[in-house]
Amino acid sequence: MEDIINIRINPMKINSIQSFANIKGGFIKGIKNVYFIRIIGIDEKDNYLNDIYNMDKLLSERNNQYNGYLRINSFPTYIDKNDMLFYTSQYENFIKNNTEDFRLKNIKKNMPLFNIYLMSLKNIKKLFKNKNVSILKNFIIELFFWSDCILPKLIGDTNKWNEKNSYKFVFTGNLKKHEYYFLYFLTQIGVDVMYMNTEKDLDFEKEILELSELIKLNSFAKIDIPLYKINETSVKNLHKQDNKTKNTKLHTNINTQNTVFENKNKRKELDFEQIAKMASSVVMISVYNNSENCIKTGSGVMINKDGYILTNYHVISGGSYYTVNIEGENNVYTTNEIIKYNNYTDLSLIRIDRQLNPINVYNEKNELSRGQKVVAIGSPLGLFNSVSDGIISGFRNIDNVNMIQFTAPISHGSSGGALLNLYGELIGISTAGFDDGQNINLAVDYKTILNFIKGFIK
């Protein structure tokens, strides 16, 4: 196999943002020097932000010694159904070592990057040697998707990638474990990577953290790091789905009075007894480990007649396989099919081999409002399909994820359950409650849900 390089990580000590910006890893006799560091905390705020600005400015000047630079604060999250099918097929090619048919949208076999990309995939796979197959599969599919989204913005024309060039990638947002693994993957194809967090270090296992070099600054503070503004095009493209959502919101604020009038004439609220019957479309999920022991339970919502069930990522995480109970049935359905997940928004999609009766997801132009009545259905503490009612008490943005705060009682095991309006439509997925407060509960909102399941509902 041609075009294979050996990677040497952090051959020299780096102690600042300026050092990362200025250092250029050499390429000698097939060995590429790269850097993977994480800067935790800040020195003085103005100096810190000025250092970032100067780094952006320096590394964006394409006429200097650097050949590619990108700084972002969140990973692209939207994978539609067609993309999921495509990346799943490429995962199968990779697992079967079928290099003849393997390709990505922006990395094809005739590119210089192709062989190094494949070799790096095999290296990253070793990090998952004690994980179950589903976790590996979901990560590799995410990695493919992120590669197609991020590498063209970082490198430019991926066909012109050169192992002797200097590429630098900086991430300044909240980081999940799979995203951290992707940062490590970038180093394996020859990219210098820096992760920055002004408030705290990552809470990962020691051996994972040791993949990167820690630079700990003097103090901690919450700082809003501005988006990369020297060349905004790349960042805007990565967040085009978010922009679509914002544009939709602006559009739906027009002619609100007419919309409300039409909805009142066409839609009729259901009574609580009618909504309670929709519990037949909410399931209980039991999560089993490799030893076939049930380690936790949660809830899920049918969203597609072809067996698709929406739940929280934290419900299915850590599981080897799952069983699904449907109200009114003695059959228990077993599956290990995780179709997709997003640990950032805490959503996941699993599938069972059965035709389902899905719940419609709210998709009206009217915004939800505080004081609006809601009904929660889930299996708290394993009590299958309990129904409770309450109101929307607020709207929160937690770690850049839009949440509905509501008062309908939920408990452990309700996670992944349905939050419905009085038309029987899904407006949220129950996610969390505060044990120290009374009826202070949160649900991932319907807009985030619609973005996540786009392509999976009809």
Residues designated catalytic: 314, 346, 415
Same domain, 29 and 105: yes
Residues 147 and 96 in one domain: yes
Assigned token pair, 35: 């850097």
What is the distance, to the nearest Å, from the Cα of residue 186 to the centroid of all Cα atoms in its chain?
18
The answer to whether position 224 is within a domain reads yes
Tell me what pLDDT residue 229 has: 61
Reference 410, options 365, 367, 384, 377; nearest CA is 377
Residues 84 and 156 in one domain: yes
Same-domain check for residues 142 and 21: yes
Query: Can you name the residues that pair with 39 across neighbouring β-strands?
Result: 196, 215
Cβ–Cβ < 8 Å for 184, 210 = no
User: What pLDDT, on the 0 to 100 scale, is given for residue 238?
Assistant: 39
pLDDT at residue 434 in the model: 56
| Reported pTM | 0.57
Total residue length of the chain:
458
Q: Kindly state whether residues 198 and 310 are assigned to the same domain.
A: no
Q: Is residue 87 part of a domain?
A: yes
Distance, C-alpha 268 to centroid of its chain: 36
Give the chain's residues under pLDDT 70: 1-4, 61-66, 78, 229-267, 381-382, 412-413, 433-439, 458
Task: Name the helix (H) or strand (E) containing 86.
Answer: helix 81-95
pLDDT of residue 233: 41
**Domain end marker among 232, 250, 269:** 232
pLDDT score of 315: 92
- Which CATH number characterizes residue 308's domain? 2.40.10.10
Number of domains within the chain: 3
Residue 71: both structure tokens together = 């700084």
Q: Which residues are within 8 A (CB) of 285 and not within 5 positions of it... i.e. 6 or more apart?
A: 297, 298, 299, 300, 309, 311, 315, 316, 322, 323, 324, 350, 416
Sheet order of strands, 27-28 included: 6-9, 31-34, 27-28
Both 63 and 162 in one domain: the answer is yes
First and final CA of the chain: distance in angstroms?
Answer: 45
Q: 182 and 77, same structural domain? A: yes
pLDDT at 254: 27
pLDDT (0 to 100) of residue 143 = 94
Residues 134 and 64 in one domain: yes
Q: Which residues form the domain of 396?
A: 365-453
pLDDT tens track for 398-455 = 888 899 999 888 776 688 999 999 999 999 999 876 555 556 789 999 999 999 998 8
404-434 burial, b at 16+ Cβ within 10 Å, e below that, comes to: bbbbbbbbebbbbbbbbbbebbbbbbbbbbe
Q: What is the pLDDT of residue 27?
A: 79
Tell me, yes or no, whether 268 lies in a domain: no
The reply to whether 301 and 444 lie within a common domain is no
pLDDT tens profile 200-239: 999 898 989 999 999 999 889 888 888 776 444 433 343 3
What is the reported pLDDT for 151? Answer: 93
What is the pLDDT at residue 441? Answer: 85
- Hey, is 262 helix, strand or coil? helix
pLDDT the model gives residue 45: 84
Same domain membership, residue 208 and residue 180: yes
